[in-house]
Chain A
Amino acid sequence: MTTDSKSVPDQFVAPHLRDIPKSGIRDFFDIVASRRDIISLGIGEPDFQTPWHIRERAMSAIERGFTRYTSNLGMPELRQALTTYMKHAFHATYDWKSEILVTVGVSEALDIALRAVLSPGDEVLYHEPCFVAYAPLIRMAHGVPVAVDTFRKDDFRLTVEELEKKVTPRTRILLINFPNNPTGACLTKADTEALADFVIKHNLLLISDEVYSELTYEGGRHTMASIHRIRDRLIFMNGFSKAWAMTGFRLGYVCAPAPLTDAMMKIHQYCMMSAPTVSQHAGIEALTSGDADITEMRDSYHQRRNFLVASLNEMGLDCFMPRGAFYVFPSIQSTGLTAHEFAMRFLNEYSVACVPGTAFGACGAGYLRCAYATGIDQLKEAMTRMQTFLKTL
């Protein structure tokens, strides 16, 4: 027995890690996971199967015995394909030999990027509502996460006005994610230019997580990678999970100037060696023969988004038209319920799971994240049940 309130194993957990709350939606996730026969609009991954030719390429890689480590940076053929893709899709030039690193999903890319550049106490600006991993990953890298709010009035785009309120002499990084999870927000061309000016003005590094970039529906795809004046201060990351429905392959990549790629490479080579070889083969197939797959899935998401936004607005829940990703972010403030209450009751009484906006940051209060990476029949049923639920309120 210890007299201390902490148990023996507990006392060994690093203090900075102990202070990181478990994922804010973990409790909600656990409740949902325990339920059967629900319609889930809470799933942040594509409902499509990985296109068959990509799976076939992975099987063929196993058959041919490509089951060993690759180059730490990733297979040359894959990095060459990425150079071509970056040029074609983002009008950005990256040297495959020194400026591209293949990672285990964008998750690893984020982790090694932050660890490569942060010193203890450095502040990182990031916007909320956002993907749940950002603040914890910043803390794990001994940085200080500084949340910048985004608002419905701006369709949840990040504004320089809000950034200026939070920037300090200790700020080192701006971390952004557009198209955005959980709001579906996208940047305009003017936004990207303004953000570029902002990072130059304050001498910041920009980390841009653009994993949803292929899922942009209208208004054009505006990426930070095509703004050449910030090339020296940009770490661009993207992956295969969303564009080609390859979440389980765990494959991402990061593009950055050689000194930054080198620094990330140091961490990657010691903690990861290389991204899964079979996945890298599948990635080559996706990049070289997978354009039609994206088009087909994107068209389907596009129609589902239209259906959800129209249905939600029709039943009186204010919902802006998000231009990207596969999430809609309706306001449920008119119901008088908090997001958490709404989500719990909707789950318990109508067996539909939507994630409360507060899971993605305090400013998500009053909003729900509804993912439309789910078949149209289920979306229709979910909207019918929501209509019924709203009438009881």
Chain B
Amino acid sequence: MDPLLEMLKKNARESDAVLAKELGTTEADVKARIAAYEKEGVIRGFRALINPARIDDTTVHAVIELRIRPEREGGFDRLAARISKCPQVESMFLMSGGFDLLLFVKGKNLQEVAHFVSANLATIDGVLSTATHFMLKTYKDQDILMEGEHHDDRLQVSP
């Protein structure tokens, strides 16, 4: 992967000037490359990773395992595309193993998620079963630990 993308994945707010220095190139080159990635759809967006425990956020998150019936033409894709359009679905993946689709969904409260599963998902023709797991606490998300800052206990100076 382009080291620029690796660096943006770690910190998308890094200035173009610093990125340019780290990569040994010019600021204009960094700007152009990011613009190209956005245009090509390689970069799909930039957003903050927020620790929900540190803000007054009562949003409920759940993981749902879905078994669906593949279709003669297109396999899982038509149904998957339909489900992924639901605004409650934050992430969705086709999986190997005991179920087919893994959904990360959100809702205002438990009832809202429960309603989404029973009324919207389970009723779709082709959905064979659902298994819903509510998330209780985030320890780590996308490589980032939510609690426990890295403590630097090194000597202040060493040879």
Contacts and interface: CB of A to CB of B under 8 A. Distances in A.
B157 A33 contact: yes
Interface stretch (B20-28, B36-44, B101-109, B124-132): B20-28
B18 A380 contact: yes
A32 B159 CA distance: 13
12 contacts: A25-B157, A32-B156, A40-B157, A42-B156, A42-B158, A44-B158, A44-B159, A47-B152, A299-B6, A306-B23, A355-B157, A359-B159
Interface in B119-159: 150, 152, 154-159
Q: When A and B form their complex, which 5 residue pairs have the shortest distance between CB atoms, in order from nearest?
A: A42-B157, A303-B22, A310-B21, A32-B157, A307-B21
A311 interface: yes
Main SS at interface, chain B: loop
Given A32-B156, A33-B157, A44-B159, 9 more contacts: A35-B156, A42-B156, A42-B158, A43-B156, A43-B157, A303-B7, A306-B21, A307-B21, A353-B156
A303 B3 contact: yes
Contacts of B150: 49
B22 A28 contact: no
Contacts of B156: 32-33, 35, 38, 40, 42-43, 353
Contacts of B158: 29, 42-45
Contacts of A359: 159
Which of under 10, 10 to 19, 20 to 34, or 35 or more describes the interface residues of B? 10 to 19
Nearest to B157: A42
A62 interface: no
A24 to B, nearest CB: 9
B27 to A, nearest CB: 11
A187 B24 CA distance: 22
A231 interface: no
A133 interface: yes
A35 B157 CA distance: 11
What secondary structure prevails in chain A residues at the interface with B? mixed
A271 B158 CA distance: 25
Contacts of A311: 21
Given A32-B157, A43-B158, A299 B21 contact: no
B146 to A, nearest CB: 17
Contacts of B157: 25, 28-29, 32-33, 40, 42-43, 353, 355
A307 to B, nearest CB: 4
Contacts of A299: 3, 6
A132 B24 contact: no
Nearest to A308: B21
A78 B37 CA distance: 46
B152 A307 contact: no
Nearest to A296: B6
A304 interface: yes
Nearest to A360: B159
Contact of A306 (B22, B152, B154): B22
Nearest to A44: B158
Contacts of A29: 157-158
B5 to A, nearest CB: 13
Contacts of A380: 18
Nearest to B6: A299
Contacts of A353: 156-157
Contacts of A35: 156
Nearest to B15: A380
A179 B117 CA distance: 60
A288 interface: no
A376 interface: yes
A346 interface: no
A132 B154 CA distance: 19
Interface in A26-68: 28-29, 32-33, 35, 38, 40, 42-45, 47, 49
